[in-house]
Structure formats: structure tokens, C-alpha cells
A and B are shown apart, each in its own frame.
Chain A
């Protein structure tokens, strides 16, 4: 678990720095957002089965979309979700390397809205690592599918 947590911290800081030229900080607790949230996940299956999920406030995802797609106008909701999907794909793709092989990632799926929740069946949260960025939040979580459900 320590290896997974430290890898998530390292990867997330690196991706935000190298791809978005934005600094993020590791936070102490998983925050909640009062505003709209964007959520994206990549499923991994085969030798290891589970999910890598990234969620953040709309402000963080808006800045990510603007930088990633070099937008001049305000990003649309789809821009926000596309940007977060790409970031989730990058983090999930690299995390996959430390999971049992072979494992196959899905394409990212993104969800946005003001008041929604996401539940993964037959799964438990292995870790959820919180970050802060420009006064908003980012959380990277890894969930593993229960062996009995396979």
C-alpha cells in the first residue's frame, strides 16, 4: 500500500507539472467540494481487476482543459471531462505497470454534474490520495475488485 500511495503521489505531481505546468501539493485529508465535480475513471482488468479514479473540482479541471487544449474561450463541460479523462488515462496507464501483469486498461469514462455520487460494485477502496491545487481539490483513488466476484 505504501508503494501504491507513493507512486500515486509521484505520478500525480509529475503529470500536473509536466503536462499542465501546474504545481499541486499533497493534502492531509480527502476534501469534499461544495461545487460541481468532474470525475473520471479507467478500469483495469485481467491479472488485476479494479479502477483508477480521478476526481476534482470544476476550477481545477477547467484550468487543466484550458492548458491541455490551449483554449482561449471558457472550456465546455465536455472539454473538462476530456481533459480529466486524458489525465486519468496517463496516471492509470503508468500505475498499471506496478500491478500484476498482464492487465488491460479501458478507455476513460468521465462524469460531471453538481450533485452526483459514484459507486463501484464488488469493489473496495485500496487508497484515496488527496491533493490541493489553486485552492481546489484533486483526489486519485484506486479500487480493487473483490476476488469472490470474479
Chain B
């Protein structure tokens, strides 16, 4: 793994807690899964780690992205639980389900964040070894999520637009 454990006092809990709550809520309500969250850490460099990534961009008073990434096996299990039936892998319907789950997680977190920001339509990246890069001036925090079917990650890379203008 290319990530390192961050010092706890460097990660703002106000930023992380809404995503932790939304992951737990969305997995419980859509898949009937209980989940646990590991210690967040900073992502040091992009790694070739996942098969599917749902990406949502923030604009307005908050800028940046949130990325929800899955390995193939977990994606299949989660989409099956979410849709109530098996969807053929690597079809538009399967990718759309990943996008909808991303939208639910990030949308709920955005509401709890309480910021006047817009979120984009979800985009879904399908393919082993893809690398997602955000602007280098925004730190990326990885929130590892454990489920009964495996682990996935929520990667949060956002900051206030006021900070951008001031810089």
C-alpha cells in the first residue's frame, strides 16, 4: 500500500464524520449490511488498487472530489444486494448501480456537511488499475470501510472555495 497513517490531529473530523455516517446508513438501508470504518489516513500517491470507482465532484463553496472505490468481488456482492438481483458485470446497468451507490453516499454526506455546495452527476470508472488524480493542492483522505463482503474505500479530497481564492 502506498498510503501512510496520518497523525490523528491532522484530519478534521468535521470532514470525515459525515462520510462515515453516510456509508453506514447507505449500506444498512440499501444492502442490509453493517459496516465498520478503519482509521482514516492520508493518501500519499495514487495507486493501482481498485476495479471500480464512482466519482462525484463538488463545486460552489466547496471544491474537490469524493471517490468511492471497490474491488470487483465486493462490487458484485454490493450491487446484487442493492439491486435485489444479479446484474451482469461490465454492463452499463452494473456501472450505473455503482454510480447510484456513490451518489447516495456522497449526497448524504454533503447534506450533513451543511455546506452550500453543488455535487456533480456521478461518473463511474470501470477497469482494473485505473488511477484517479485530483488537484495536488488538496490533500486526499482515505476512509477504509469494512463490510461482510470485503473492504472498499471512500477517498475525500475537498476544501472550501474561499481557501482556494485566498491562496
Binding site for B on A (CB under 8 A): 41-46, 49-51, 77-78, 81-82, 85, 104-123, 145, 149
Contacts and interface: CB of A to CB of B under 8 A. Distances in A.
B46 interface: yes
Interface stretch (B20-28, B81-89, B125-133): B125-133
Contacts of B55: 109
Interface in B119-167: 119-136, 138
A106 B65 CA distance: 9
Contacts of B63: 106-107
Contacts of A107: 57, 63-65, 134-135, 138
SS of A interface (majority): strand
A49 B96 CA distance: 18
A106 B127 contact: no
A120 B103 CA distance: 12
A116 B99 contact: no
Given A117-B126, A121-B96, A43 B120 contact: yes
A104 B59 CA distance: 6
Which of A81, A107, A115, A116 is packed against the most chain B CB atoms within 10 Å? A107
A122 B107 CA distance: 15
B111 interface: no
A109 B157 CA distance: 11
Contacts of B120: 43, 45, 49, 51, 106
Nearest to B161: A104
A123 to B, nearest CB: 6
Nearest to B56: A43
Nearest to B51: A116
B133 A82 contact: yes
Contact of B131 (A41, A43, A77): A77
Interface string B45-68: 110000000010111100111000
B98 to A, nearest CB: 9
Contact of B46 (A49, A78, A149): A78
Contacts of A120: 121-124
Contacts of B126: 116-119
Contacts of B131: 77, 81, 111-113
A114 to B, nearest CB: 7
B121 A112 contact: no
A117 B45 contact: no
A60 B13 CA distance: 41
Nearest to A108: B135
